[in-house]
Every structure is written in structure tokens, then in C-alpha cells.
Structure 1
Amino acid sequence: MSQPLINKFVVVGIGLIGGSLATGLKQRGACAEVIGIARKSDTCTEAVNHGVVDRAYTSLCDIAGELGQGDVIFIAVPTLSVSAVLDEIKSCVADSVTITDGASVKGSVQRAAEAVFGVVPPQFVLGHPIAGSEKSGVTAANPNLYENHRVILTPLENTSTQHFDLVTRMWQVVGAEVLSMSVAEHDEVLGATSHLPHVIAYSLVDTLAQDIKNPNIFRYAAGGFRDFTRIASSDPVMWHDIMRANKTAILQSMDLFIDNLSRLRSGIEHEDSSYLLSVFSRAKEARDEFTLMLAKRHAAAKED
């Protein structure tokens, strides 16, 4: 039997993101053992009972002495909780252990690591899987969540090639396409393509539920409303943290969207058919092109 890619895989935060990677690696025989770390003992017990992890603890330092080269710690906690995990890592984890994360904002993670260590350690590979679900918690773990999805790694100048390569291979094992970009570019791109849509979805649902006093609003909502607002069922704590951590990029995207929405409102108010048709036509063309691109990528992945 061939040697697994990872010896001990330690997941800090046993929810959708961390649990899905843990079960994905287990199912594919890519690690010898999965160890979970969670704040609550009940979560630890639930994760073991559901087969998400082999064993679980409430403190990383409980098992840090077991870890060394070939082991991976994956930080899968809300963005603003990463700093506390890094504090614990500094106190008890050897510098031979590979560390990576799944936070949606990379600039805040970089700053947190610099605050804790003085400089981002070479063993720490910043990353972000572009996959998710409106579900959360231990029971949401899905071993196939990352298949045909992208993972963005944002290596720094001092990032170790050895640790970077291991993290890259780890994500590839669970079916992900791994890309690299700078921290700044990542936060700008995700602020527009992921964070802004969540802002809009949350605001729309809140507006309809709280401000429009019509009991039939949701009763007669069609499939388009359901599809568009699905992401408003995502974990509020996680998205609260993302909004604070990537504030600058999100506000820039929001300002641009608000300006365009104001122009669209004016076009509707003044029955400016030319403007309305141009906006709708451009949007349809862009959306169709995006759909075609996704279809081609999916077909290529099936051929592989």
C-alpha cells in the first residue's frame, strides 16, 4: 500500500469547510489519521460519531507534541478567529508542521500572522477554497464539496516551496483546481465576486422580510428568488467576520454597485428604454459568456 500524502491531518474548526476537507482526504486515503479541534466538547464528540474525524480535542496543544514533518494543520474557523488559533500554534506547534487556512479574506490573515509571529512563517500557506453551501456545522461535511472547484493560494515571498507543494497536492487530491495570486488581488476579486453578492442577498431578504409588510411576499416568490437568495442562509457569524475583514474592497464594490443601481432606478423612473435595454443586454451577454465558460471547464474536468 502506498504511503499517504499526509500523515496526521489536523482540522481546527470542524464545520462545513474543515469537515468537508477532512472527509474528502479520508475517503481518498490521502491521510493516515484525521484529528479535529473544536471549542466545544460536544462538537468533538459529534464529529467523531459522524466519522468526520478519528479523534477530537478542545485544544490544539493537546496533540501538538505528536506533530512534525508531513503533518498538516488546516485552520477552518471564522476569519476574525484565526488570530487566536495562530497564538495557540505559536505556543506549541513545531515549525516543521505545514499550516494552511480556508479563510475568505487573505489580507486579514496575513496581518494576524504578522502580529503573532512578527512575520508570516514559511510553513504557513495562505489559502481559500472557492466552494461552500448555505449549510453549516459538523453534519454539513461533504467529501466531494471541492470537486471541480477552485482553491486560491496566496504565497508570500518567504513561503516554503515544500509546504506550498504539499498544500497544493492536498487540494488536488480532493478534486480541486489550484490557482495562485497575490493577497491584494485575491481580496479585491473576492470582494466583488463573492462578498458583494452576499451583501446584496442578505440586504434583499432583510428588506422583504422586515420592511415590506406583505404576508404574501415569500409565499409567492418564484424559483429565481430562491436561487438568488440561497446564500442569505449562510452562516451569519462567518459573513459578519468577512465584512469586517475585507471592508475596503467590499465598500469599493458596494459603492460601484450603488451608483449603477441609482442609474438604473433613474432609467426606470424616466422610462429610458434605450438605457434599460443596454444594461439588460450587456448583463445577459456577460452572464451567458460566464455560463459557457463554466460549461467548458466542467467538460474539461470530466475528460481528465
Structure 2
Amino acid sequence: MFLINKLTIIGLGLMGGSLAKALKAQGAVGEVVATGRRAESLERGLQLGVIDSYTLDMAEAVAGADVVVIATPTLVAEKVMAELAPLMTANMVVTDVASVKGNIQKAAERIFGDVPSNFVLGHPIAGSEQSGVEASAVDLFLDHRVILTPLANTSDAALSLIRSMWETCGAEVVCMDVAEHDAVLAATSHLPHVLAYTLVDALAQNGAAADIFRFAAGGFRDFTRIASSDPTMWHDIALANRDAILQGIDTFAAHLNTVRGAIADGDGDVILETFERAKHARDEHFLGQYLARQKKSPSS
């Protein structure tokens, strides 16, 4: 049976809290200790039963830990690694949940000289527009993917441990190159968040903003839901994955300009072809995923 005797979570929020809940529900963890900079959120996690104890002293928190999870915003993770570096031991496996992997790898190389073999870079592709430990959910990772980006020197044992941890939470684990991960996530997650924030901000500054939001229908709510996500976290992501996001913005802007030109010229053929291609691509991908999940389901 898979078991982590002591799990330490650095930065107790949605991701760290959900991981603790999922492992506890599976009986896969003996003790969950959390640390961070804000005693209020840690105390709340204790009250909710998400963690077993907390401390503001990182050395105390990680002492004897089998697994340490850095669950802070992307840019904060770099500061955490610097503080964690002298506390790491050979028996400790460290991982993270940051949405950008390139900056974590570079920061680790600066801090450690090289990324330690017992540091497994990871990113669960799951989340919510809500944040904080109060929003944590036992099933947040169920049937979602977790991307691990092992390096050439990553320990097989460490990689296996972190893979098992996420699989115990019900996630599908895949491995990917760091650069590929950041490019894929820029297109599928980071760019959509930038677009949602920008659209809502633009409309909010419109003179008719009150009526715009008053009469917004389901499509607007669905598209802009992610603009309710934690601004600090997405600020960090935008800066950490700057190059890939800029490339995505440029590609999107070129396509948007083409559609704008077609609308301005009354070119219905281009408009319809664009919309039909987009519908086909989305339906083919997401319907295929849905049918695959239904086929795997015991109730199907």
C-alpha cells in the first residue's frame, strides 16, 4: 500500500490543501504538516482538518519529511527553494505544483548549482477560479492530468514516488520536457487567462459597463469565469512564462486580425470557414476525451 509517512506542504492553498485532502481520504499519508508566511491560512487549514499541524519555521516543518511539496505561487517558489536548500536531505523528495517549469528549473540551477536528483518538477492540470485552503477539494485531481518534467539526473525512485502520489489522488500522470510543457501550457491555459482578464478589464472600463455586465449571458460567464482566479498567481505566471505567452498572444492577434478583416469586408466565407474549423477541432478533441472517460467508467 502506498504511504507517505510525513508530508510537508509549503504554502497551504487550493492545490496543497486538495492534495492533503485526497491523500488523507485514501489513507495514503500518516502526517501532514504545513508551513508558510501567513499563520491565518495555516490555522484555517488545521481547523478544517486539512492538515495535522503547522509551523512558521520551515526547518521544523520539513524535518523528517518524506515528501515536501512547494505549493506557492510561481515566483514565490524561487524564494522558497533558497530557504529550503540547506534543509534538504538525501531521504527527502521535493516536488512543486507551479504552472511554469522553465523558471523553476533555472532557479534551482542557480540555487543548488544543479537541480537535485531528488527534486521532481511537476504541475497538476487542475484548479478552480476559487483560491485558498477553504476552496480545497478532495476530488480536485480526480481524472485530471499531472505533468511531471523529469530531467536527465532525476532519480528514478523520486520520480516513481511522486508519480504514485498523484496517481493515488486519481490523476493521470504524464511526463514531458520542460520547454514543451511551458509552450503547451502557454497556449492552453496561460493565454486563455490573459484573454479573459483583458476582456473583462476592457469591458469594465467601457462607459456602458453596467448594462454590459447586467445583460451578459451564459457564453460571457463561461468564457470569463477564469478571470475570477487569483490575480497574484496569474501575474506570476505571466512573468515567469513571458516568452511562450508572448508567442501565443502574437499568434492569436494575427488570427483575430484576419477575422476582423473578414468582418470589416463582409467576407462571410472566411468567417464561416474559421468558425467551422474551430468547432470541428474543439468537438473532435473534447468529445473524444468525453467518450474515452465514459468507456473507462465502471457504470457505462
Same fold (TM over 0.5): yes
Q: Does 1:23 align with 2:18?
A: no
Corresponding residue to 1:124 among 106, 109, 119? 119
How far 1:215 sits from its partner (Å)? 1.8
Contact between 1:105 and 1:187, CA under 8 Å: does it hold in 2?
yes
Kindly provide the amino acid, as one letter, of the partner of residue 31 in structure 1: V
Q: Name the CA distance, whole Å, in 2 between partners of 1:272 and 1:251.
A: 29
Contact between 1:39 and 1:59, CA under 8 Å: does it hold in 2?
no
Any gaps of 5 or more consecutive residues in structure 2?
none
Aligned match of 2:100: 105
The count of aligned residue pairs is 299
Aligned match of 1:239: 234
Aligned match of 1:39: 37
How far 1:291 sits from its partner (Å)? 2.1
Aligned match of 1:163: 158
Aligned match of 2:210: 215
Q: Name the CA distance, whole Å, in 2 between partners of 1:141 and 1:287.
A: 29
Aligned match of 1:12: 10
Contact between 1:61 and 1:93, CA under 8 Å: does it hold in 2?
no
Aligned match of 1:251: 246
Identity among equivalent positions (%) equals 50
Aligned match of 2:223: 228
Kindly provide the amino acid, as one letter, of the partner of residue 7 in structure 2: F
Q: Name the CA distance, whole Å, in 2 between partners of 1:300 and 1:22.
A: 29
Q: Name the CA distance, whole Å, in 2 between partners of 1:300 and 1:89.
A: 44
Corresponding residue to 2:171 among 168, 176, 179? 176
Which region of structure 1 is more displaced relative to structure 2, 207-216 or 194-203? 207-216
Q: Does 1:66 align with 2:61?
A: no
Contact between 2:21 and 2:50, CA under 8 Å: does it hold in 1?
yes
1:80-102 Cα shifts (integer Å, max 9, x gaps): 01111111211222122010000
Corresponding residue to 2:189 among 182, 194, 211? 194
Contact between 2:34 and 2:61, CA under 8 Å: does it hold in 1?
no
How far 1:300 sits from its partner (Å)? 4.0
How far 1:230 sits from its partner (Å)? 0.5
Q: Name the CA distance, whole Å, in 1 between partners of 2:209 and 2:220.
A: 16
1:106-128 Cα shifts (integer Å, max 9, x gaps): 00000110011000000000000
Cα 1:35–1:301 shift into 2, 3 Å: farther
Corresponding residue to 2:276 among 264, 273, 281? 281
How far 1:212 sits from its partner (Å)? 4.4
Detail structure 1 runs of 4+ shifted over 3 Å in the superposition: none
Kindly provide the amino acid, as one letter, of the partner of residue 275 in structure 2: F
Kindly provide the amino acid, as one letter, of the partner of residue 160 in structure 1: S
Q: Name the CA distance, whole Å, in 2 between partners of 1:196 and 1:181.
A: 20
1:57-97 Cα shifts (integer Å, max 9, x gaps): 11221233333xxx100111000011111112112221220
Q: Name the CA distance, whole Å, in 2 between partners of 1:101 and 1:149.
A: 17
Kindly provide the amino acid, as one letter, of the partner of residue 60 in structure 2: D
Aligned-partner SS, 2:211: coil
Backbone CA RMSD of aligned residues:
1.3
Contact between 2:121 and 2:148, CA under 8 Å: does it hold in 1?
yes
Kindly provide the amino acid, as one letter, of the partner of residue 274 in structure 1: D
Q: TM-score by structure 1 length? A: 0.96
Aligned-partner SS, 2:63: helix
Q: Name the CA distance, whole Å, in 2 between partners of 1:291 and 1:98.
A: 35
Q: Name the CA distance, whole Å, in 2 between partners of 1:51 and 1:97.
A: 24
Q: Name the CA distance, whole Å, in 2 between partners of 1:45 and 1:52.
A: 10
How far 1:214 sits from its partner (Å)? 3.7
Q: TM-score by structure 2 length? A: 0.97
